[in-house]
């Protein structure tokens, strides 16, 4: 049996008519950059996240970068985050001219270990970015308690966590700002590049609207140095059409995750992802830990199952971040999981037969 890692085509086919109609509307009104379709999506997504404001931008990377710029992060500042994320989390910090300060993650959660946070705070710390990795929120109460005590804003990297919850609160709604990516493979994916910042802070929302549009609030009168970070009209329309389905798509992911969890519980060599007691996980990625990750990957590939690795190299060991003096051994948990994690196929349109087949192949190997 062939099982792809992702199947964007299956989802597109299920909503093609609706999406094509939305795109045609944008074409016929020529609202290509920003405009009414982006504004409509911003209102819908803000309400989905339980936030007052949403600012549509060009990508998840822009969302993180603009959120930090909006908070005034600048050269000489430090921003605390984790080393086991997609590189964009660190890049956003570096693009402000600031230094990422990494702290290690929890062994079961793969998210920021709050016990390590306080000791990483310095007089230069200007923000903290927990990453809701794989679709599960970081331990936000513990992180926010420390951040609040020091008066440091928390920016959530919710790029993998559309619709995830922490003690009933939606990912993105807990910090001063929540950053989302709508890269096509994300739980809510555009048909191109797009991203968004959600916030309850009206002043920050106003500043972000200016920063994403060259620092202007009136055309050609520039109050700030900003960037071209606007969302495309077509992406706004596509995202509006797709947002209606997000909760049900996430529910399918959770069903597949339960199937994997039950079927693989008996495989003693594997560590299966856990839903933390505080979390509602939306399984952007379903990653198991195997002592023989490469062997398992090859066996699955040989039986037609595509897998992924998120991520093979932690950020502090990437060439782009070499020269910071953080070699092997700096962040033991992040380094260990980078060697052991294997992401299994996970998308709403997977069938029970496919998930069951994958589990059988894993049991044959381990």
- Provide CB contacts within 8 A for 189, sequence distance 6+: 8, 182, 183, 242
Helix (H), strand (E) at residue 178? strand 177-181
Of the residues 143, 155, 159, 237, which one makes contact with ligand PLP according to CB under 6 A: 159
**Shortest distance in whole angstroms from residue 277 CB to ligand PLP:** 23
Helix, coil or strand: residue 186 = coil
| Residue 343 interacting with ligand PLP (CB under 6 A) | no
State the minimum distance, in angstroms, from the CB of residue 132 to ligand PLP. Answer: 8
CA distance 27 to 30: 5
Q: Which is nearer to ligand PLP, 46 or 131 (CB)?
A: 131
Q: Which secondary structure element, helix H or strand E, spans residue 128, and what is its range?
A: strand 125-128
Q: Which is nearer to ligand PLP, 159 or 238 (CB)?
A: 159
DSSP output for 272-338 = -----TTEE---S-EEEE-TTHHHHHHHHHHTTB--B-S-SS-GGGSGGGTTSS--TTSSHHHHHHH
Number of residues binding to ligand PLP, judged by CB under 6 A = 14
Tell me the β-bridge partners of 247.
none
Looking only at residues 56 through 75 of this chain, which bind ligand PLP when binding is defined by CB under 6 A?
59-61
Distance (Å) of CA 303 to CA 170, 232, 351: 38, 40, 17
85 counts as binding ligand PLP under rule CB under 6 A:
yes
Closest approach, Cβ 179 to ligand PLP, in A, equals 7
Cβ proximity to ligand PLP, 270 vs 342, nearer residue: 342
Interatomic CA distance for residues 87 and 28, integer angstroms: 38
**C-beta of 11 vs 59, nearer to ligand PLP:** 59
Taking the C-alpha atoms of residue 120 and residue 78, their distance in angstroms, rounded to an integer, is 10
- Residue 183 or 331: the one with the smaller Cβ distance to ligand PLP is 183
Binding mask 103-132 for ligand PLP (x = CB under 6 A): ----------------------------x-
89 binds ligand PLP (CB under 6 A): yes
Inter-residue contact 231 to 34 (CB < 8 Å): yes
The one segment of 2-10, 82-90, 103-111, 226-234 that binds ligand PLP by CB under 6 A: 82-90
Binding residue for ligand PLP, selected from 37, 183, 260, 283, defined by CB under 6 A: 183
Binding site for ligand PLP (CB under 6 A): 59-61, 85-86, 88-89, 131, 157, 159-160, 181, 183, 195
């Amino acid at each position: 049996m062939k099982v792809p890692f992702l199947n964007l085509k299956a989802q597109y086919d299920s909503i093609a008519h609706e999406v094509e109609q939305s795109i045609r509307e944008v074409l016929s009104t020529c609202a290509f950059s920003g405009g009414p379709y982006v504004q409509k999506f911003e209102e819908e997504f803000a309400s989905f996240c339980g936030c007052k404001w949403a600012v549509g931008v060009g990508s998840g990377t822009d969302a993180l970068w603009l959120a930090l710029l909006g908070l005034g992060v600048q050269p000489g500042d430090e921003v605390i985050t984790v080393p086991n994320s997609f590189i964009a989390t660190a890049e956003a910090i570096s693009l402000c001219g600031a230094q990422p300060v990494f702290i290690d993650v929890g062994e079961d959660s793969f998210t920021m270990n709050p016990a390590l946070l306080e000791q990483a705070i310095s007089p230069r710390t200007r923000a903290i970015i927990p990453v809701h990795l794989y679709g599960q929120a970081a331990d936000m109460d513990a992180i926010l308690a420390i951040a609040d005590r020091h008066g440091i804003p928390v920016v959530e990297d919710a790029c993998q966590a559309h619709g995830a919850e922490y003690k009933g609160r939606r990912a993105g709604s807990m910090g001063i700002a929540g950053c989302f990516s709508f890269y096509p493979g994300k739980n809510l994916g555009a048909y191109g590049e797009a991203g968004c910042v959600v916030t309850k802070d009206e002043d920050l929302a106003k500043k972000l609207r200016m920063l994403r549009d060259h620092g202007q609030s009136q055309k050609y009168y520039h109050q700030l140095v900003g960037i071209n970070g606007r969302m495309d009209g077509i992406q706004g329309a596509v995202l509006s059409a797709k947002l209606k389905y997000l909760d049900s798509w996430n529910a399918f992911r959770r069903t597949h995750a339960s199937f994997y969890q039950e079927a693989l519980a008996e495989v003693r060599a594997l560590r299966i992802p856990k839903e933390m007691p505080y979390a509602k996980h939306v399984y952007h990625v379903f990653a198991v830990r195997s002592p023989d990750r490469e062997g398992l990957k090859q066996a699955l590939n040989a039986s037609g199952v595509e897998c992924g690795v998120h991520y093979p190299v932690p950020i502090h060991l990437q060439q782009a971040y070499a020269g910071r003096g953080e070699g092997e051994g700096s962040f033991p948990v992040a380094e260990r999981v980078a060697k052991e994690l294997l992401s299994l196929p996970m998308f709403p349109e997977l069938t029970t037969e496919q998930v069951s087949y994958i589990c059988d192949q894993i049991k044959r190997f381990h």
